[in-house]
Chains A and B, each alone.
Chain A
Amino acid sequence: MAIDTVLWSKLVTGMTLGFHVIFATLGVGVPLMIAIAEFIGIRKKDPHYILMAKRWSRGFVISVAVGVVTGTAISLQLALVWPNFMKLAGNVIALPLFMEVFAFFFEAIFLGIYLYTWERFKNPYIHWLLTIPIVVGAGMSAVFITTVNGFMNQPGGFLMEAGQFTAVNPVQAMLNTATFSKVFHVLSSAYLTGAALLAGIAAFTMLRKGVSPYHKKALNLMMAVVLLFGMLNTFAGDVSAKFLAEHQPEKLAAAEWHFETESGADLILMGWLNAEHEIIGALHLPKLLSFLAFGDFNAEVTGLEEFPLDERPPLLVHYLFDLMAGIGFALLAISLLYFLFVFWKKRNELNKWLLRIIALSAPLAFLGVEMGWFYAEIGRQPWIIRGYMRVEEAATSSPHVRILFFLFLLLYIVLGTVCVLVLRRLFNNNPAELEMEKWMKEKPSQSTEKGEAS
């Protein structure tokens, strides 16, 4: 029974976070894209980009709504499902949680203002300025909440006395050794995913309805962002791997099925394990793991056998890790290919196959984010606060948690379905070209007005 409620608690939280992370990633990534599009639109006096910002923010607000309510759910579930965890860790992580709410508050206020003041200011840059607190608020809330996750991986900033955290230093707990690499990776992947989604939508629309100047501009702009953040994200992933090798070797070892400590360790791609834990059918890249972990092909990498059996993460994380990393590289490659075609005049960058691949990169990006988080979280098992509290000590003992799993599952199915339906209706019945025409008719002097004001 005790094991049972723990498993259900894990499932409830995993499901909520897995659902929330889709919208949280959108919430962090998309505002930056809106800000970039509006800025270029004002700068170039090109109403296409302004329309982009308008349409994106209209879709964005729907996804924000789901992000807000699932975020509220996860923040309450922390205490409802993991009461012992909050009792212990609340002393140390309250500060970043509190700051996260402030950042979110800040973003919420300015998002409301932004959405309802499109026509209010004479100078278009004033309206654009409103995107800055939104981008900053969204980014900062990701930063603060990631420090909490960093703390759970690399606890610090306290002394342990008789089962209680004492001599707490909240700032030191926030700036734990895991924080930097995690924040870097979370932010870069969120911006990458936001751009990949919007590029994917533009490509998808052009596949279905043919090339239009609006979608061509959107695709070009977003692919540039994908390229930039694809590179940053690859770098961030490398920083994270080096962090793991140094501070959480069991997580890296589990991801790479690296059982024995050795120097010049191989990097293993895919494959599977037989009953004797031998690796079959995998691609071995010689000495690459050592290079990945320490930047030296002959460095010694700690193996999983150094850790007691009951402190090893599940070996399944290997696949999560490979998928995440593979998708990261694929996104970077797609954007490189796109710009290769753009600059190599003989090729048409808008050919069907390339558009199809770009359209596919949007769901891939989200899959990559999910895989990355599942890897990070499952790779931390069996700890909830690594080295201090195990997951089964933290969970609620209430048997009702099983029923709640199904209630929440139902809720997320309903929310997800209706969200998709509403978004489809919002955009399918109102294509960009049509809206552009209507808009230009209503405001014939739009572009000249903007020019004078700046």
Chain B
Amino acid sequence: MSYELIGISVLWLFLYGYLIVASIDFGAGFFAFYARLTKQDHLINRLISRYLSPVWEITNVFFVFFYIGIVGFFPDTAYYYGSALLVPGSIAVILLAIRGSFYAFENYGSKNSIIYLFLYGATGLLIPASLSVALTLSEGGFIVKQGETVSLDYWALFTNPLSWSIVGLAIVSVLFISASFLTFYASRAEDKSALKLMRNYALFWSTPTIIFALTAFIYLGQHNERHFQNMMNLWWLLALSVAFFMIAMWLLYNGRRYGLAFICIMLQFFSAFFAYGIGQYPYILDPYITIQSSATSPSMGLALVIVFIGGLCLLIPSLILVFKLFLFDADYVKGKK
């Protein structure tokens, strides 16, 4: 396997990791705010902050990691996406900044500030929306290149149903993933009232998730025939995704094995996300950047792969430690530690 293929696979895996951990985080912020508005915060806030407090910083790193990785392996992406995304990218940066800092302000500094909680909750839904623009751009047709100048065609972007369905999909899947994780976390904490509330949220957000996924898929077919056909050839991955979704729904509905249900949801997104990614191969930005054309020099590629493996040897044990201490330690989850 060539190093650029290793690179993109690893990065895609990281983006998937970010998708899961960030969804939990973004959704949790929204639910915390929503629960405050509907005066149900006493039920779930302690649960949410117990999970989020030790891990919020890690979530942020996943994103920077993916971004630095893709610029490192494929420097051309910095030029095209950087030029085109100046405005939406900066907005995402500002939202991320507000969200990250106000989480800390709310949690470690001044408790019970509804404004801080609002900033934290609302940005949680706007960030996935603004980040998903990058995904839409990769389908091609939204970037105009005149001579050396690359810019974004906002009119095409805002009038295209594909971009809106991707935004919609990003938002509802955030809520769905987050609710189902918090359901599992509540069941570990043996917190009956929180469990009931989160389970309702999870069941509620499952329907729009599957509807938006279908819509986005259909519009993708109209926008980028090649990508759509490639994904159709990977029909078994998509079928698997649907199957995992059904299992998860069945488990959630019957109110048992919440851990397994969440794993099924993770697998559901995993297979769909990889079907999408493999279908896009070999393009990173249709039609300007392919994986081969934009790859960095072999020596840098090799160095990155080596550092990557070394880094994982350091990270995986540390992440396991975090999970052991805060996710699978029953006493901590229940609030006894």
Contact = CB atoms under 8 A, between A and B. Distances in A.
B296 interface: yes
Contacts of B110: 421-422, 425-426
A138 to B, nearest CB: 12
B326 interface: yes
A400 B85 CA distance: 11
B228 interface: no
B63 A72 contact: yes
A282 interface: no
Nearest to A74: B93
B318 A109 contact: yes
A116 to B, nearest CB: 5
Nearest to B61: A105
B78 A90 contact: yes
B90 A404 contact: yes
A92 interface: yes
10 contacts: A62-B108, A65-B105, A69-B99, A83-B150, A87-B76, A109-B58, A109-B315, A113-B325, A133-B318, A396-B86
A342 to B, nearest CB: 35
B48 to A, nearest CB: 15
Interface of B: 53-55, 57-58, 60-61, 63-65, 67-69, 71-73, 75-76, 78-83, 85-87, 89-90, 92-94, 96-105, 108-110, 149-151, 296-297, 299-300, 303-304, 307-308, 311, 314-315, 318-319, 321-322, 325-326, 337
Contacts of B81: 79
B86 A81 contact: yes
A108 interface: yes
Contacts, number: 227
A69 B101 contact: yes
A115 interface: yes
A437 to B, nearest CB: 22
Q: Give the dominant DSSP class at B's interface.
A: helix
B151 A116 contact: no
Given A101-B61, A102-B311, A170-B299, A90 B71 contact: yes
Nearest to A85: B78
Nearest to B99: A69
A399 to B, nearest CB: 10
Nearest to B54: A112
B157 to A, nearest CB: 15
Interface of A: 58, 61-62, 64-66, 68-73, 75-84, 86-92, 94-95, 97-102, 104-106, 108-113, 115-117, 119-120, 133, 165-171, 396-398, 400-401, 404, 407-408, 411, 414-415, 418-419, 421-423, 425-426
Contacts of A62: 104-105, 108-109
B307 A73 contact: no
Quick one: which of A64, A73, A76 has the most chain B CB within 10 A?
Answer: A76
A84 B89 CA distance: 17
Contact of B303 (A65, A109, A170): A170
B97 A70 contact: yes
Contact of B90 (A68, A70, A80, A82): A80
B54 A398 contact: no
Given A94-B71, A94-B304, A108 B61 contact: yes
A369 B68 CA distance: 26
B54 A75 contact: no
A167 B299 CA distance: 8
Contact of B54 (A102, A113, A426): A113
A94 B322 CA distance: 28
A120 B85 CA distance: 46
A90 B322 contact: no
A80 B58 contact: no
A398 B151 CA distance: 8
A31 to B, nearest CB: 14
A97 B315 contact: no
Contacts of B299: 167-170
B101 A66 contact: yes
A73 B97 contact: yes
Quick one: which of A79, A101, A106, A425 has the most chain B CB within 10 A?
Answer: A79
Contacts of B149: 397
Nearest to B77: A79
Contacts of A418: 101-102, 105
Contacts of A171: 303
